[in-house]
Amino acid sequence: MSDPSNTLAWLDQPHTGETVTYRDCAGQSHKLPVRYPRVTAVTQAQGREIAPHLFWCSFALDGFHFCDRIDLYSIIEPGKQALLIDTGHYDLCGMTFLDDLLAQTGTPWETVDVFLTHLHDDHTGNVPYCLHQGARGLMRGACDPYDPRNVQAFLQETGAAAVQDTALDAFVAMLLGKDNPLYEALPTVREVDAGDSLDYGGYHLEVLETPGHTFEHRCLLEPERGILFAGDHIIVATPGVMQFQRDQQLLRRYLESLHMLRNSGLRTVYLSHHEALSSTDDIVRLIDRIATTYEKPLEKTRAIVAEQGPVTIYATAAASCRHLPGGLAGLANGMRSRRVATTFGYLEYLADTGWARRHTADDGALVYEKAN
């Protein structure tokens, strides 16, 4: 792992507005922007050893739109080395709980590695703090650096540009990595893919490529113990696979990986926003429940395409929102972007599985119709 100090300059960009201040291992002061000022957190578990060398921290959240808790896991060989699986976010759970976790095990920051299941900020927000305290480096799945042309392609291909709904671009840009150096090919960052493995504290962890919640999502599997560190791949939530580019086959790959995990004999799954699942039956039930949640929106999408096709992604999203006050246009920019991006995923799934066919209109929008 490369020396993180070689690439820390990106952590020290000036910020405007309210900030959080902390000191690094050399006593220098640093600032981070406040992202979620209305969120409050209550510690539910602080560095609890739930299995040999496996530690759990948990926080109940109030005022965070996306979830009501955050659960973080670490594998620590006291005094020797540690693997943090995601970092949390300073607005959601603070930062110093990480110092407390390492202090209670006598483990120096210089022996700490960080594995990021994906790049949403509730999982990566404390990365600057970790690096400034001396963590060795980061691991994450492969992803493309931010490119504004991808945002414009999304607007054009979904049909949003044709109806001049350019207000989506800021949210889409954020989710495609704008102003997030973790998407860049930094020496600090090591890409991990299926087939890679990690060994910490007697755990042999295999990296699983699990796109769906995000394109770069990765899980860690301990096959001998039947343990999965699931990140947000297995999550108790409404359907949320958002697709931003054509031909990613994101929903198909997501459902296929869920089916694989369902039949793999898992005994314990550690989730990021839910209590751990500690029986195969509970794991199978939750995976089945997640898969089932996609049946209704896919059937609704099929009906819209059958009735209105050829139809764009944006027009399909609008038709699916007719029951809402104000329809699609009445949704806030972020929620409207999500609705269009999830519709993109549904339509690509129908094309990937042969139910629909896709072509490109003269204005660059993707258009879908029933295949037969």
Q: 156, 363 in Cβ contact below 8 A?
A: yes
Query: Which residues, other chains included, contact 325 with Cβ-Cβ below 8 Å and sequence gap of 6+?
Result: none
Q: Residue 20's pLDDT is what?
A: 92
Q: Residue 256's pLDDT is what?
A: 96
What superfamily does domain 4-145+181-292 belong to in CATH?
Ribonuclease Z/Hydroxyacylglutathione hydrolase-like (3.60.15.10)
Q: Residue 7's pLDDT is what?
A: 54
The token duo for 235 is: 């999550």
Q: Residue 339's pLDDT is what?
A: 96
- What distance in Å separates the CA atoms of residue 18 and residue 102, rounded to the nearest whole number? 29
Give the three-class secondary structure for 320: helix
Q: Residue 10's pLDDT is what?
A: 65
Pure H helices in 42-124:
90-93, 96-105, 121-124
Would you kindly state where each structural domain of the chain is located, as residue ranges?
Answer: 4-145+181-292, 148-175+296-370
CB atoms near residue 341 (< 10 Å): 23
Give the three-class secondary structure for 228: strand
Q: Residue 5's pLDDT is what?
A: 43
- What distance in Å separates the CA atoms of residue 18 and residue 14, rounded to the nearest whole number? 12
Query: Which residues, other chains included, contact 106 with Cβ-Cβ below 8 Å and sequence gap of 6+?
Result: 78, 79
Give the residues of the chain that fall short of pLDDT 50: 1-6
One fold for both 4-145+181-292 and 148-175+296-370? no
Q: Residue 2's pLDDT is what?
A: 44
Q: Residue 4's pLDDT is what?
A: 44
The CATH architecture to which 148-175+296-370 belongs is Orthogonal Bundle (1.10)
- What distance in Å separates the CA atoms of residue 58 and residue 17, rounded to the nearest whole number? 29
Q: Residue 213's pLDDT is what?
A: 93
